């Protein structure tokens, strides 16, 4: 109450406050003088750049001690209030000019639009990245975004960039997280976040926002990318701030703010789809003991229902990067789409795993990666021809760290970029083709060839040859086994 007393103690003015004053008082937007100041225009309280409050007016200036007291009292007000609000409205958390929001058109992101405007007093630019999630998810987005209160919607087709600059480097590196996960969502987040930073620059935004929850990995992946590419941007994560706790709360908030609630049927699963994979979480999958329902899968048929005849597919590879399918050269995104279709009809690429999230908890997820599974098999099989033993061992050990960095959202970390330079250099000779047999959920290699193959039939043949003299093996074995022989001699007292 000290601020109120400081203002009301002046006998020459009578300041009237609109709105209630609570135990932690906040000076409301507007105040009036009923005496001696009635020649002044209505005074407004607005946020200062130093997070305090200042009183602005257009004509006169305060000269009396009473006025000085009033200013000091207002400046001493609760410093947590960082911006002005209209009478009866709650104070802004912070004043932002324009926010670029990662937008899907679903309930959560539709509600975030008015929430940002209400709590940050900003314009909202919705951004949607096309990373191959399907045309249905992009239909009607502009109308939804503007109906929710956004000033515009920006859509960018990132499919080729996603495959060429994110998926293929991970493929070349052999990056697999915890033995199974082919990093589908992990690779998509940095390409989306990078595009958001670009859009923020294009539209003059000073902040970015996402709809990731505080329990997941994606919040880290988005925000580390923001930090790396533009550390000056403010980041707003509503799920870590607001009081909405579930779908029903979100629906009520949407109705209150006249936001059209999406009428699409909500899946019982939490899914993320892009050109590389489709993930499934939630519902019965939350119990690791439960077998997934047959009708859950969307990219691949049940292997039991796959064709009874196998299908052969040939993958052409140049320097560790796929370039063709069955002799036909294709763009990165087109190549992956083709293999998704081929692999999907044979039930290829289903993974069920319990993984360790970055935030510390375990989660159970089911992934469909038909084209990706084919490509990983092809690249690794070609490397069996083109890389020597020591190189494969070092590459595989680095691949584990590479996968961990990507999973943790550190795509733009100098360490990953340096490791990628190693992977690019070491696979310069991984060029050739691999033929694979697809049959009822399985992928097996039937042939591989490369102009840089280290395999020599004249050396490997059981027939005698001039390059390898079998008699040389005796000396090699004696030297190679010398440490074991010495230890045995010591134990026997020899």
Which are the catalytic amino acids? 108, 189, 218, 270
Question: Would you give the DSSP letter of residue 23?
Answer: S
What are the start-end ranges of the H helices in 210-272? Answer: 218-229, 247-256
Sheet holding 30-33, edge to edge: 15-17, 30-33, 43-47, 53-56
Say how far apart CA 401 and CA 195 lie, in whole Å.
Answer: 26
CB count in 10 Å sphere of residue 391: 14
User: Phi and psi dihedrals of 448, rounded to 5?
Assistant: -150, 145
User: Phi and psi dihedrals of 132, rounded to 5?
Assistant: 95, 25
Count CA atoms within 13 Å of residue 108 on its CB side: 19
Say how far apart CA 316 and CA 361 lie, in whole Å.
Answer: 40
Contact by Cβ (8 Å): 226, 233: yes
Type and span of the H or E element at 77:
none
**Concatenated DSSP letters of 49-72:** TTSSEEEE-SS----SHHHHHHHH
- CA separation, residue 437 to residues 51, 304, 378 (Å): 66, 16, 11
Residue 281's Cβ-count burial label (10 Å; 0-12, 13-18, 19+) is middle
- 102-133 burial, b at 16+ Cβ within 10 Å, e below that, comes to bbbbebbbbbbbbbbbbbbbbbbbbbbbbbbb
State whether residue 269 is helix, strand or coil.
coil
Task: Please tell me the total number of residues recorded for the chain in this structure.
Answer: 494
In this structure, the dihedral spanned by the alpha carbons of residues 63, 67, 69 and 70, taken in order and rounded to 10 degrees, is: -150
State whether residue 281 is helix, strand or coil.
strand
* Residue where the block lists tokens 């502009």: 142
Token pair in block for residue 319: 């320097």
């Amino acid at each position: 109450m000290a601020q109120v007393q400081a203002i009301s103690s002046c006998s020459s003015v009578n300041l009237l406050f609109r709105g209630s004053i609570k135990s932690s008082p906040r000076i409301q937007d507007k105040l009036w003088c009923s005496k001696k100041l009635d020649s002044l225009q209505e005074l407004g309280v607005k946020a200062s750049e130093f997070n305090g409050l200042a009183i602005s007016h257009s004509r006169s200036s305060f000269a009396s001690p009473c006025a000085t007291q009033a200013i000091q009292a207002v400046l001493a007000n609760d410093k947590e209030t960082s911006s002005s609000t209209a009478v009866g409205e709650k104070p802004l958390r912070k004043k932002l000019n324009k926010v670029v929001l990662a937008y899907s058109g679903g309930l959560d992101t539709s509600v975030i639009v008015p929430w940002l405007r209400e709590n940050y007093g900003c314009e909202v630019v919705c951004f949607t990245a096309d990373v191959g999630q399907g045309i249905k998810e992009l239909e009607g987005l502009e109308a939804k975004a503007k109906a929710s209160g956004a000033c515009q919607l920006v859509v960018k087709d990132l499919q080729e960039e996603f495959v060429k600059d994110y998926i293929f480097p991970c493929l070349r590196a052999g990056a697999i997280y915890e033995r199974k996960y082919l990093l589908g969502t992990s690779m998509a987040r940095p390409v989306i976040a990078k595009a958001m930073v670009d859009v923020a620059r294009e539209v003059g935004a000073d902040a970015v926002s996402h709809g990731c929850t505080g329990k997941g990995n994606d919040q880290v992946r988005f925000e580390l990318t923001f930090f790396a590419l533009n550390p000056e941007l403010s980041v707003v994560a509503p799920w870590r701030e607001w009081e909405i706790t579930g779908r029903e709360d979100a629906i009520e908030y949407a109705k209150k703010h006249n936001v059209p609630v999406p009428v699409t049927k909500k899946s019982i699963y939490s899914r993320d789809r892009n050109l590389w994979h489709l993930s499934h979480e939630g519902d019965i999958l939350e119990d690791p003991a439960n077998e997934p329902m047959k009708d859950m899968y969307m990219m691949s048929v049940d292997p039991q229902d796959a064709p009874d005849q196998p299908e052969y597919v040939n993958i052409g590879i140049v320097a560790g990067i796929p370039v063709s399918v069955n002799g036909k050269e294709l763009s990165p995104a087109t190549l992956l789409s083709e293999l998704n279709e081929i692999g999907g009809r044979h039930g290829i690429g289903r993974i069920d795993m319990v993984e360790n999230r970055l935030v510390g908890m375990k989660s159970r997820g089911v992934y469909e990666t038909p084209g990706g599974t084919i490509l990983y098999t092809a690249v690794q099989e070609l490397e069996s021809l083109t890389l020597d033993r020591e190189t494969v061992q070092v590459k595989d050990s680095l691949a584990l760290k590479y996968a961990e960095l990507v999973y943790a959202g550190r795509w733009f970390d100098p360490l990953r970029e340096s490791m990628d330079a190693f992977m690019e250099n070491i696979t310069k000779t991984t060029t050739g083709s691999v033929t694979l047999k697809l049959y009822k959920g399985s992928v097996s290699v039937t042939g591989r060839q490369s102009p840089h193959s280290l395999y020599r039939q004249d050396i490997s043949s059981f027939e005698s040859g001039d390059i390898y003299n079998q008699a040389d093996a005796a000396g090699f074995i004696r030297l190679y086994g010398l440490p074991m022989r010495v230890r045995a001699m010591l134990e026997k007292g020899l």
